[in-house]
Structure 1
Amino acid sequence: MEDHKSLTYQDFWEMRARQSIWVTRNVSYRAGAWIALLANRLGVSPNMISLISGGITVGAALIAFGMGHGNVIAGLILTIGLQLGYAFDCADGPLARATGKGSSFGALLDKLVDLSSGMIFPCILAYSVGHCYFFGIPFTVRVLILVLILRVFLNVMLWIKELVVYKADRLKVDPRMHNGWWKVKKAASIYIDEPVYRLAIGLAWTFGFFWEFFALYHVGVLFLTLAYLLSSKKEMDAMDRAARPSG
């Protein structure tokens, strides 16, 4: 029986998702590798790490809710909590792959916790702040619903593309040609990278600009999502043509 306790930081780092966006891959997954190393030494399961990830994310939002919008200490706790929650999210996969403890249910649980906590924490913050200035509660609810629909669409699209293109292999390197257009897309994708979004929302909370950030940021997300969808069709059509037998 293999001794998983002897696994090192490097073993977990090598299990990072190769297709993730730059900040996630080079910052959050590094923190996640340390968390996975500690979890492995303590005997904590990947599924428990997934649940802890969601708990930290939602818990940080609840603390900010209690302390109030524009509170510097609340903003600091929120910012650190959101980043830590995401680092745990980047630990469960490497822990499962490195130790051989991955499972279909674990993959499902990971996605469920990711999506639910990612949708819940902005709702908690929005409820704490209240309505958008003089527009009133109905307008606020509409903005929040539109943003949540957009974020669900973006997340589901990225996950389904991962299944189609990479066959759910998180260790597979991006097979697309690394040309100028690919580099432009990778640079633009940093805008929607989860740790960048969480850092920005934490800072917006700290300085009392939650709704300004929340609305304007997601206008940008809408344009990037549409551009990403259109460019993905072109790339995937090219991959289909290349995969067909010649002759």
Structure 2
Amino acid sequence: MSTFSDALTRLGSAQKSAKGAPAYSRFVNRKLGRVLAAASYVVGLTPNQVTGISACFTFAGIALIALVSPAPWLGLVVCLALVIGYAFDAADGQLARLRGGGSKSGEYLDHMVDALKVSALHSAVAISFYRFFDLDHAAYLLLPVAFTVVAAVLFFGMILKDLLARAHRAAAGVPAPPPEAPSTLRALLVIPTDYGFLCVAFLLFGFKDVFLPLYALFFAGNLLFLLAASVKWFREVGALDATPAQSGSQRVNA
């Protein structure tokens, strides 16, 4: 049985590419996830069990947003719950790679939990705004509703783009491109889209006059990124059509 330090060392060479990852996810969350993955490996947890732990922390934090009146202590508790949940979310994939590779069912479960949380989080904010925030205009309630739509579409777009690319490479017999070197500048520029920084922003949830404009800035950043990324992704997917898939006999004869 590997020790914690052995597992941690092995995980250092079992990381996926950091290309495109925003700053918190790349520099903080993956490192936290690595520690949790090593600990989970030592105690014998499976990746699906780690996904379940992540969901418990994440949805506990989301429930508190919707059910409890904002206060400084609540912001701290919600932030910790979301941050820990996100760290375990990074740990399940790392644990799978440490164990020799993940499963299709595990990937499905992980993506389903992620899809649920990105919509549930902003839905909980909408409930909190309605119940506890003394909003000058009811139109502010549209902000988390719009954020729910943007977050869901952004998540689906990223997943679908990668899925189509992988399916096309498999059909065309084309190997995956080598990972590109990650850009620190880009990681900093896309901070508004970073789910990890959004988790940390809930530290200010108890300060309504500060949290509301900060939340609006996160929404604006995600909306602008979605508009730009959608065009880029459409072109990338369209470029796949220029490389026709090979038939089974063609791949055998190649």
Shorter-chain TM-score category?
A: 0.7 to 0.9
One-letter amino acid matched to 2:69: G
Alignment partners' CA distance in 2, 1:122 and 1:145: 7
One-letter amino acid matched to 1:48: Q
With over 3 angstroms needed to count, the CA separation of the structure-2 counterparts of 1:126 and 1:211, relative to structure 1, is farther
In the TM superposition, what whole-angstrom CA distance separates every residue of 1:144-191 from its partner, at most 9, and x where no partner exists?
A: 3322111111011111222244669xxx77656x79xx7765543232
Equivalences for residues 1-247 of structure 1 within 5 A: 7-18=6-17, 19=19, 21-23=21-23, 24-65=25-66, 67-69=68-70, 71-100=71-100, 102-130=102-130, 133-136=135-138, 139=139, 142-165=142-165, 175=179, 185-200=186-201, 202-208=202-208, 209-234=210-235
> CA shift at 1:67, angstroms?
4.6
> CA shift at 1:107, angstroms?
0.5
Does structure 1 retain, via aligned residues, the 8 Å contact 2:66–2:125? yes
Alignment partners' CA distance in 2, 1:124 and 1:33: 29
Identity in percent: 23
TM-score by length of 1: 0.78
Structure 1 range deviating more: 6-15 or 107-116? 6-15
With over 3 angstroms needed to count, the CA separation of the structure-2 counterparts of 1:193 and 1:230, relative to structure 1, is same
With over 3 angstroms needed to count, the CA separation of the structure-2 counterparts of 1:132 and 1:222, relative to structure 1, is farther
Structure 1 range deviating more: 78-87 or 119-128? 119-128
Matched residue pairs, number? Answer: 233
With over 3 angstroms needed to count, the CA separation of the structure-2 counterparts of 1:173 and 1:98, relative to structure 1, is farther
With over 3 angstroms needed to count, the CA separation of the structure-2 counterparts of 1:152 and 1:20, relative to structure 1, is same
Q: CA RMSD in A?
A: 3.3
Structure 1: tracts of 5 or more residues without a match? none
Alignment partners' CA distance in 2, 1:33 and 1:50: 14
Structure 2: tracts of 5 or more residues without a match? 169-175, 245-254
Does structure 2 retain, via aligned residues, the 8 Å contact 1:16–1:25? no
